[in-house]
Amino acid sequence: MIRSPGGLWGDRKAPLLKRVVAVGGETIACCDTSGKVTVDGKPPAEPYVAEDASLDEPPNPNYCGPRRFAAVTVPADSVFVMGDSRARSNDSRCAGPVPVSSVFAVMAD
């Protein structure tokens, strides 16, 4: 769970439930030839993705609807988070990486 760091994340008081997909120093992108997210060039196993976003929409930094996004090298002391229902999730695809200081709870699979 994360606290909103502000900016495109908004000034929410309620915590956000997101999954950490990449950490500082890793490069994340979407998509490979099969439409999967890659971290350092390899697709992670993501059986938890409940509703993936559209591959047909072009990337849009102001809206998290599209699945595709440009490669991002996550800064040190930050994480790249995505929701499990990506077709409806506001996450790092459009709002950018989150400072580790915003993470306050970790849940294991």
| pLDDT(45) > 60 | yes
Residue pLDDT, tens place only, 62-73: 678 788 888 999
pLDDT for res 21: 95
Q: Rounded to 5 degrees, what are φ and ψ at 2?
A: -130, 155
pTM of the model: 0.87
Residue pLDDT, tens place only, 20-44: 999 999 999 998 888 899 999 999 9
Order of all β-strands in the sheet with 27-30: 37-39, 27-30, 69-73
Question: Which CATH architecture describes the domain 7-102?
Answer: Ribbon (2.10)
| pLDDT(1) > 70 | yes
Which residues make Cβ contacts (< 8 Å) with residue 17, sequence separation at least 6?
Answer: 1, 83
- Measured CA to CA, the distance from residue 100 to residue 67 in angstroms comes to 24
